[in-house]
Amino acid sequence: MAKILDTYYFDRERAMEVALQQNRVQIAKEYTVPQLCYYDGEPFVNPPRTLINVPFESIVDFFINTGMRFPAHYEGKDRETMNMGSIFSEVFPPIENIRNESAKCNAGVLSKLKPDFINDRPWRIVFTMSIFTEVWQYCIENVVEEFQKLGFNVKIIQEKDDLHRVDNCILLKSIAEFKPHIIFMISHTPFKFIHPDIYFVSWWQDITPDLRESDKIAWRDKDFIFAQTFTTDKILERTGAKNIMRQGIGVNTDCYRVRPDIKRERKVVFVGSSYINMFNANPGCSGDDDILKVLDELLAVGLPITMDIAEDLGKTYNITPHYIFEKYASYLVRERVIEWLCQRKDIKVEIYGRFWDLNPIVKPFFKGEIPYGEAVAKVYNEAMYGISAVPINITIQRVIEMASCGSIPVLYDCRHIAEKPHWDNECLFFRSKEELYACFDKVPAGNPEDVGKADSYESFAKKITSMIEEREGVLLNP
């Protein structure tokens, strides 16, 4: 079957025919978007949203200015239009060059935009995110809400919808026009070209390929660097980062709260995707099978996965111990724990997320994807227990969400390596299948809802604000 691509059609009827098929284009391992069908000729009346009229003579002007994805293929209807289509390979590189020059121009503007924290209020903070990164998207939205409450002027830059993209041309133009005092991005290195007095908040939730492969990064004096876990600290420090601060993912307590109107059942739920695709997508090594075997043997007998073990495996196969956790342990712990859970017969089990239909043990219990927010909160309010299967961290987003909703957190026990707080009295812990099953006959001594107060977006926004106030010697709201 031919790969589906965004396409320019010289035959308008053919373009309509394909648009009505509602095909989807793969833009990442986990994401597909509607196929764009551009076409030459007269425009249709009330066309499908993916059917875009761009007369051939208007191609250059349209694509220089649009935020929509470019066509990756063209389809002619005769010899003449096939010859016209061959011009595409000559037209689009100059279009990209023009957009790149626009980006460079706005980078130059940003290098001269000195923010005024005294006379130019309210302070402006710009956030960038993608509609295709679900967790990051909702994190940003929650942080934005807290900055707005504090009185900031806020702008979010993201794709207009699933037909659009945000390239450097669009991104830097939007930032320059907003003239920010602060730029806030998740898992992104600071822009080298911005004015030294603009603050750049870099909140690392994932170890990106750029970070993993960087030896040195030109960190600035006014970069605020936050990391979700201590394993990320080590990689950041290798690039020259200093004064790394901790910030876990919080929750919106207006959404994630105990709902007395929802009946709670004796059941256990897991909300999260299988990491099978992530495991396959991340680069491996010659010892993939051996590493998984070692980790699997530890899980089978309930022994902890320690940093010493990760270091030994790393030395053997010439990879970092942090990558042992990132690629191998994260995948395998989650996969095995959810398999154990689905083999328990005396308690109702529900699994939500993605890719669990690929696991035959889990598939009968798989309920499909669930939208973030109220739907997840409802699931946790309905369940007596919630599961987390992470090999290196305790206070992750899902744990805070389930605890805030009154569902007892049942956690894979990584307290030997995870940073405190460990919530020993507020959660239940296991390392083996037998210990997992025993949890479903217990309740913790403490109140799980206390876990939900661990990392709030409100405190995060206030911390950043107070740090800037102290550095600038001026209050946001004097």
**What architecture (CATH level 2) is domain 111-250?**
3-Layer(aba) Sandwich (3.40)
pLDDT of residue 355: 93
Residue ranges of domains in the chain: 7-86, 111-250, 265-453
Query: Helix, strand or coil for residue 201?
Result: strand
- CA-closest candidate to residue 388, choices 248, 255, 293, 211: 248
pLDDT tens series, the chain, 478 aa: 678 999 999 999 999 999 999 999 998 777 899 999 999 999 999 999 999 999 999 999 999 999 999 999 888 877 777 777 677 778 889 999 999 999 999 999 999 999 999 999 999 999 999 988 877 787 898 899 999 999 999 999 999 999 999 999 999 999 999 999 999 999 999 999 999 999 999 999 887 877 877 778 999 999 999 998 887 888 899 899 999 998 887 777 888 899 999 999 999 999 999 999 888 877 777 788 899 999 999 999 999 999 999 999 999 999 888 888 888 999 999 999 999 999 998 999 999 999 999 999 999 999 999 988 899 999 999 999 999 999 988 888 899 999 999 999 999 999 999 888 899 999 999 999 999 999 999 999 999 988 877 667 888 999 999 999 999 999 988 7
Amino acid letter, residue 326: E
Residue with tokens 């995110």: 129
Place of tokens 């507020």: 426
265-453 shares the fold of 111-250 = yes
C-alpha pair distances (Å), 389 with each of 273, 288, 393: 11, 21, 9
Q: Please state at what angle helix 134-150 crosses helix 457-472, rounded to 10 degrees.
A: 60
CA angle 221, 226, 229 (to 5 degrees): 140
Contact 87, 8 (CB under 8 A): no
Please check whether residue 108 is in contact with residue 193, taking contact to mean a CB–CB distance below 8 angstroms: yes
- ∠ CA 266-436-298, rounded to 5°: 160
For residue 373, what pLDDT is reported? 85
pLDDT (0 to 100) of residue 288? 87
What is the spatial distance between Cα 168 and Cα 28, in angstroms, rounded to a whole number? 19
Distance, in Å, from the CA atom of 232 to the CA atom of 224, rounded to the nearest integer, reads 15
Question: For 44, which DSSP code?
Answer: P
Cβ atoms of 392 and 329 closer than 8 Å: yes
The predicted model scores a pTM of 0.77
Distance CA 302, CA 360 (A): 23
DSSP string, 364-401: GGB-----TTHHHHHHHHHEEEEEE--SS-SS-HHHHH
Contact of 6 with 74, CB cutoff 8 Å:
no
Which CATH number is 265-453 given? 3.40.50
Tokens encoding 331: 């995948």
Closest CA to 322 of 307, 342, 334, 337: 307
